[in-house]
Amino acid sequence: MLRTVVDLSFLALAVVLITTLLADRYDSNNEAVISLEIQNLRKDVLNASMQNVQYLEGKINRVSASSDSYQVNVNSRIDVLESRMVGVESRRKDSTRIVNNNSAVSSSVPTISKE
């Protein structure tokens, strides 16, 4: 009977050791799989963030280009208006003409006006 108890306890101990070793092996396999999944997820997140950054940089560059184009267009229009104003002012200063109104005709003295 003692021999049977020793054999049963040895068998129980062997079963416990085998299940523990197999459980550890199964856990280490799961760790490797989870580690690979985490690495793949990190790559995916990095790729997505890089694509978002590239999209935003492209959008910023397009907005910047249109802003620069608008600024150049406005500056050229302002230059045209300024040159026209200078031309109008120079014509106004240069053109003097004799205006004959009733008082000038009656006194026969011409009046010079600038317009």
Whole-number pLDDT of residue 98: 60
Whole-number pLDDT of residue 103: 59
| Domain that includes residue 50, residue range | 2-114
Q: Which range has the worst mean pLDDT, 25-29, 63-67, 91-95, 105-109?
A: 105-109
How many domains does one find in the chain? Answer: 1
Whole-number pLDDT of residue 100: 59
Phi, psi angle pair for 99, to nearest 5°: -110, 120
Encode 91-101: b = buried (16+ Cβ within 10 Å), e = exposed. eeeeeeeeeee
Q: What's the distance, CA 11 to chain centroid?
A: 69
Q: Which of 98, 93, 94 is nearest to 113 (CA)?
A: 98
- Name the pTM for this structure: 0.45
Q: Kind and range of the H or E element at 7?
A: helix 2-94
Contact indicator for 68, 61 with CB cutoff of 8 Å: no
- Using 50, 70 and 90 to split pLDDT, how confident is the model at 17? confident
Residue with tokens 């197999």: 22
